[in-house]
Amino acid sequence: MKKTFKLVAFTAIFAFATSLMAQNKFIGTVRYSIEAAGKTQEVSLKIYENNALFKTEAAQVLVKGRKIYNMQDLSQIIGYLKSNDVWDSPYEGDGKILIKNELEQKDIDSLTIPCTEGFYFEYIDGEKEIAGMKAKKARYHSFNDEGVDKGFEVWYTNEIGPEFDLIMLMGLQGLPLEFTVTSDDGSTVSYKVVEIKKEKLNDAEFLLPAGYNELPEDELKAVFTSIQEAVELLDM
C-alpha cells in the first residue's frame, strides 16, 4: 500500500512539474487587440520561456521571472527642450532611464487578501477559449479614493509566459488574455489576445540593452514633471 501511495504521489508531482516546465518553455509572440474610443490598435508581447518583452519606439518593459526592468528613452524630447532653452531640471542624464523593480513574496501573499484600498485579485470559477488557449477567470478589485470598487473581470492563462504578469495587471498569476477597463466617465478600454504564435525568437532581445542608467522611480516622476512644465513653456 505504501509503495502504491508513493508511486501515485510521485506521478502527481511529476505531472505538476511537467506542467510548470511546459509553461516556461513557450517561445513566441502574443498579439493583443486594444479598443478605445471607437478605434482599434494592435500590440505584441514577446515571450521567451519565463521572460516577457513589450517594446515601443520610446520605451520597453522586460520581465525576467519576478524582476521587471522599465526602460524609457527620453533623450530626443529632452534634447529638443534643451535646444529651445526651456529645460529646467536637476536631472542631468541623457534621458535613457532604467527603473528596476521586483515582485517580492510579501507582495505576492498580499495580492489575494481582500481589502478596501489599493487592489487585489479574486480567482473564481470559469473557463473559456481565447485564441486557442484555455482561459481561466479572475476578478481584479481596484478601489478609488472613495473606497468604491472599480474592478473588472479578467481572463488569463498560466500555461505560457512568466509566473506573474508584471506589465499590464501587476501580480496576476498568469498572462492576461482579455479584460476591459472602465473609467469614471464611463469610457472603456478593452484588451483581447487575438493570436498566440509559437516562433523562433532571438534570446539576445531579452538581455538588458546597454546605455541605460538606473534612476529611482520618484526621480523619474520628477523628470516627467519637468518635461510637462517645459512643454507648457513652449506653448506660451
Distance CA 164, CA 63 (A): 9
Quote the pLDDT of residue 12.
38
Q: Does domain 2-235 have CATH number 2.50.20?
A: yes
Quote the pLDDT of residue 147.
87
Q: Where are the domains of the chain?
A: 2-235
Quote the pLDDT of residue 24.
65
Divide the 236 residues of the chain into consecutive groups of 10 and give the mean pLDDT of each group: 39 39 77 94 95 90 95 94 93 94 92 93 97 96 90 96 94 96 91 96 91 93 94 84
Task: State CA 41 to chain mean position distance.
Answer: 18
Question: What strand order describes the sheet that includes 59-64?
Answer: 119-130, 133-142, 152-157, 175-182, 188-198, 27-36, 39-48, 51-55, 59-64, 67-73, 96-102, 213-214
How much is the mean pLDDT over the chain? 88
Which residues make Cβ contacts (< 8 Å) with residue 19, sequence separation at least 6?
159
Quote the pLDDT of residue 16.
39
Burial class (CB in 10 A: 0-12, 13-18, 19+), 137: middle
Q: In terms of DSSP bridges, do strands 188-198 and 213-214 run parallel, antiparallel, or are they unpaired? A: unpaired
Distance CA 53, CA 63 (A): 6
CA nearest neighbour of 47 among 64, 35, 33, 60? 64
Predicted structure pTM score: 0.82
Quote the pLDDT of residue 236.
66
Quote the pLDDT of residue 41.
94
pLDDT tens for each residue of 4-63 = 434 343 333 333 334 444 456 899 999 999 999 899 999 999 999 999 999 988 889 999
Distance CA 43, CA 29 (A): 10
CA trace torsion 204, 205, 207, 213 (10° rounding) = 130
